Amino acid sequence: MLSATSELIAILDFGSQYSQLIARRVREQHVYSILVKPDISADELRQMSPAGLILSGGPASVYEKDAPKPDPEIFSLGVPVLGICYGMQLVCELLGGKVSRAPAREYGRAKLSVLKDNRLLQGVPSETTVWMSHGDQVDKLCEDFESLAATASCACAAVKHRRRDVYGLQFHPEVTHTPRGAEIFRNFLYDICRCTGQWQMSNFIDQTTEDVRRRVGKSRVICGLSGGVDSSVVAALLHRAIGEQLTCIFVDNGLLRKAEAENVIQTFRSHFSMQLVVVDAAKTFLDKLTGITAPQEKRRIIGHEFIEVFKNASKDIPDAAFLAQGTLYPDVIESGQGFAGQADTIKGHHNVWGLPAELGFELIEPLRDLFKDEVRVVGEHLGLPEEIVWRHPFPGPGLAVRVIGEITPARLQKLRRADEILIEEIRAANLYRSIGQVFAVLLPVASVGVMGDGRSYEANELVVIRAVETADFMTADWVHLPYEVLALISNRIINEVPGINRVAYDISSKPPATIEWE
């Protein structure tokens, strides 16, 4: 858990996929934030002494019988309140307005027109772009509210109570698709809530180190190490806290990138002198995945085998009572584990699916409250090498979710080589650090090609390149890679990887697409 400060913003989570992102945006302004249950009582909030409250969006409709609603007394706490999307509709409905189904669902970018000068939208141009995602809207304000901004189809896109510091936004300022969203949050936090911005990442490191030492005592902690940014930062953070009481286990599941296992062993055994157990389980995983094509079934199998491998590997580690994982906020929210319990599951993450119960260990997730960019900052504070801190994310199930369709050794070999070429050329063009994530995907799509003097078809597949830019991995835009770089990558993959005769580039953003294909 992040350390508390005198400045706190409590975010009531009504099940939005972006709830954790709101928390990230607040912490980005150096103000500590926590997510709380939507039905938290006003008395409980009063004990926290928050500087302000934010009501998140959510999938429900406020006029539904079982729609989640807050304690009405929160408006009597005397602190500013900001409702976002569903949160705005709740604010307006609870204070006398009317919400109903919109004539047409508004989804995506919209042009916002600021109607009145106000503190919340101060500095925002009179015409700006915002991100909408709603099927309901406020169609009647009570006399205590006034509209601050509108879009072509939403007359109340931003509202304010005339006498209280209670605001509402129908759009989502927390996503990167709302370019002036950071300014809106800053206005709310500093001009309306009167925060001063005292929270820093060093607070998190010191507090987490103290918490881990107190919780672990003299027991031993096992860390599932993959070599990616998240698990590497977890290992370094725990090593700082408990030293030789930490044992890392690295599982080679046969779904890794080229030379992945060798690099992990070299880095953590030689460079960091950590206790590292290496398990070669490639054959076991690949045998279990034979003939499996459904993405969620792949994840389930990999999660199950991961548990079994860990059980066997941990038997010889004495006094092991805790399991550490690199679970992040996006892992939690995309697995449908928001406080409201109503967020739709986008995909499953095997590192948030019941491992403690299966393994018999108590779980430690020191990065659970952080987003990827925050994790990198922690890594820098801990002195991790740049090549680890800035390494692009790699999914827990590995190449299983980038080999679309059946997983075979031959298809994995194709993808490994294509991915290696891709990364080589991205680094050579000095683009790696400016891209949030770049990788190759192998599709079981045969297309006619010409190889040598003859036509080719059956043995050939399609490789898709995916590159995104993002600040938080909850939203992302595709990267406009230079044509000459794309051409070089395509030529090399087609010429150097047998069985690939076509390369495509993915130009979809998140949302509506996810970053990974499966």
* Cα R_g (the chain), whole angstroms: 25
Are 78 and 52 spatial neighbours (Cβ–Cβ below 8 Å)?
no
Q: Rounded CA gap, 386 and 407, in Å?
A: 32
DSSP letter for each residue of 215-254: HHTT-EEEEE--SSHHHHHHHHHHHHHHGGGEEEEEEE-S
Q: For residue 240, give both structure tokens.
A: 């700082």
Q: Could you say which of 7, 28, 92, 172 is catalytic?
A: 172
Q: Given the structure tokens 């096992």, which residue do they identify? A: 222
Q: Tell me the CA distances in angstroms from 408 to 403, 427, 501, one per residue in order.
A: 9, 28, 19
User: Three-state secondary structure along 397-418?
Assistant: CHHHHCECCCCCHHHHHHHHHH
Q: Give the DSSP H or E segment for 12.
A: strand 8-12
| Three-state SS at 122 | coil
Cα within 13 Å of Cα(52), Cβ side: 27
Strands across the sheet containing 320-324: 275-280, 246-252, 220-224, 320-324, 362-364
Query: Pairing relation of β-strands 437-443 and 461-469?
Result: antiparallel
Cα 170 from chain centre = 23
Q: Could you say which of 85, 154, 195, 248 is catalytic?
A: 85
Are 222 and 275 spatial neighbours (Cβ–Cβ below 8 Å)?
no
Q: For residue 362, give both structure tokens.
A: 């108590």
Query: Pairing relation of β-strands 246-252 and 275-280?
Result: parallel
Q: What residues contact 273, with CB distance under 8 A and at least 6 apart?
A: none
174 labelled catalytic: yes
Q: How far apart are the first and last CA of the chain?
A: 30
Q: Could you say which of 7, 28, 106, 174 is catalytic?
A: 174
Q: Give the DSSP H or E segment for 301.
A: helix 295-314
Cα 317 from chain centre = 32
**Would you please indicate which residues are annotated as catalytic (active-site) residues?**
85, 172, 174
